[in-house]
């Protein structure tokens, strides 16, 4: 099966699951092995590539579905480096600096831990050290529930002399950060597409002044502005997928998808009018996620500063050389 065929099958599988959107959706996804795509089978993964996982993340996000797919797939990918994967939900947190674990235990208050209340294991990644594994079921662990603006768990986890194990052989912090950034970019892109689809349907069907809203030139122009943002964000993700590992590509895709998300969420609400701000109508499931996810891992501003610093250091020649570096030809993706 060609790559794009497999991607299409993943998409339609997720469309079907989303249509059934029951409380057991995450269990169904786990059952199908989707969050473990991109991890080798001999390590307990589902096989497939990171590209396939990006398709899964993008498709789920396009339906405005909040499941811990980014966190679980990344945590399992880290743990898969060190041994066979166990059952249960693992999550991951990036830290600015490694916690003091000299005695084999850690005491710390960790904020914004995604899905901690539902997870059994937490992987902590910090620059310059191996990842640490925390058993969240340990009696020394206390979890306080906190939600982000999308209503997704970003809990506070208090560790008090909690035993940790170093996951030797795990990936470097930078690799984890890059993978998370790429996955969040795909999520933002997916939710942007979802908000666009909903808006296009709405302005095509909703009548005002005796005709569909889309007949009003200002409305049509705004819909087109959403489309060009998607064109830009799609291109940025393609670029990042092909340029994986090259510095700059991650910043570029984060900045571009975040900027697209901002404009798309704003226009989507404007075109939906008051309908879009009700709990009943599904737009907020997408826009609240766009507002949360666009600055995940690091804010758009941080990525921009980092890319700008590198550009200033590289000078015009360095910037130009990097931007025009040969990539795979567009037709060769399949």
Judged by the rule CB under 8 A, the positions of this chain that interact with another protein are 200, 204, 214, 217, 220-221, 223-225, 227-228, 231-232, 235-236, 238-239, 248, 251-252, 255-256, 259, 301, 303-309, 311-313, 315-316, 319-320, 322-324, 326-327, 329-331
Task: Show the beta-strand stretches assigned E in 126-238.
Answer: 132-135, 141-144, 154-166, 207-208, 211-212
Report in angstroms how near the CB of residue 289 gets to another protein at its nearest.
22
> Based on CB atoms, which residue is closest to another protein, 149 or 235?
235
Please answer whether residues 105 and 164 qualify as being in contact, where contact means their C-beta atoms are separated by less than 8 angstroms: yes
Report in angstroms how near the CB of residue 297 gets to another protein at its nearest.
16
Report in angstroms how near the CB of residue 260 gets to another protein at its nearest.
10
Single out the residue of 167, 159, 162, 69 nearest to residue 126, CA to CA: 167
Report in angstroms how near the CB of residue 313 gets to another protein at its nearest.
7
> Based on CB atoms, which residue is closest to another protein, 144 or 227?
227
> Based on CB atoms, which residue is closest to another protein, 220 or 277?
220
Report in angstroms how near the CB of residue 193 gets to another protein at its nearest.
13
Report which secondary-structure segment, H or E, holds 105: strand 105-114
> Based on CB atoms, which residue is closest to another protein, 288 or 294?
294
> Based on CB atoms, which residue is closest to another protein, 101 or 267?
267
Report which secondary-structure segment, H or E, holds 123: strand 121-125
Please answer whether residues 263 and 291 qualify as being in contact, where contact means their C-beta atoms are separated by less than 8 angstroms: no
Q: Which long-range contacts (CB under 8 A, 24 or more apart) does 242-246 make?
A: 242/327, 242/328, 243/325, 243/327, 244/50, 244/178, 244/182, 245/178, 246/322, 246/325
């Amino acid at each position: 099966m060609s790559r794009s065929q497999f991607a299409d099958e993943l998409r339609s599988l997720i469309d079907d699951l989303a249509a059934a959107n029951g409380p057991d959706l995450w269990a169904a996804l786990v059952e199908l092995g989707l969050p473990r795509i991109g991890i080798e089978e001999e390590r307990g993964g589902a096989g497939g590539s990171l590209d396939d996982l990006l398709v899964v993340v993008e498709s789920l996000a396009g339906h405005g579905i909040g499941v811990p797919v980014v966190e679980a797939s990344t945590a399992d990918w880290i743990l898969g480096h060190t041994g066979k994967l166990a059952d249960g939900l693992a999550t991951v947190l990036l830290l600015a600096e490694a916690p003091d674990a000299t005695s084999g235990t850690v005491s710390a208050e960790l904020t914004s831990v995604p899905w901690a209340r539902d997870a059994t294991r937490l992987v902590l990644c910090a620059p310059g050290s191996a990842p640490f594994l925390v058993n969240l079921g340990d009696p020394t662990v206390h979890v306080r529930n906190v939600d982000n603006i999308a209503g997704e768990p970003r809990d506070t986890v208090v560790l008090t002399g909690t035993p940790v194990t170093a996951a030797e052989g795990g990936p470097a912090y930078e690799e984890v950060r890059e993978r998370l950034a790429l996955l969040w970019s795909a999520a933002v892109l997916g939710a942007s597409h979802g908000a666009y689809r909903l808006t296009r349907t709405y302005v095509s069907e909703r009548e005002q002044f005796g005709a569909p809203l889309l007949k009003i030139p200002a409305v049509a122009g705004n819909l087109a502005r959403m489309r060009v943002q998607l064109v830009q964000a799609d291109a940025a993700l393609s670029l990042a997928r092909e340029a994986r590992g090259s510095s700059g590509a991650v910043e570029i895709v984060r900045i571009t998808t975040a900027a697209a998300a901002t404009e798309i969420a704003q226009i989507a609400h404007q075109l939906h009018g008051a309908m879009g701000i009700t709990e009943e109508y599904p737009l907020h499931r997408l826009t609240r996620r766009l507002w949360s996810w666009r600055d995940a891992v690091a804010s758009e501003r941080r990525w921009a500063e980092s890319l700008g610093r590198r550009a200033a250091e590289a000078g015009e020649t360095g910037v130009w050389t990097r931007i025009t570096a040969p990539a795979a030809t567009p037709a060769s993706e399949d």
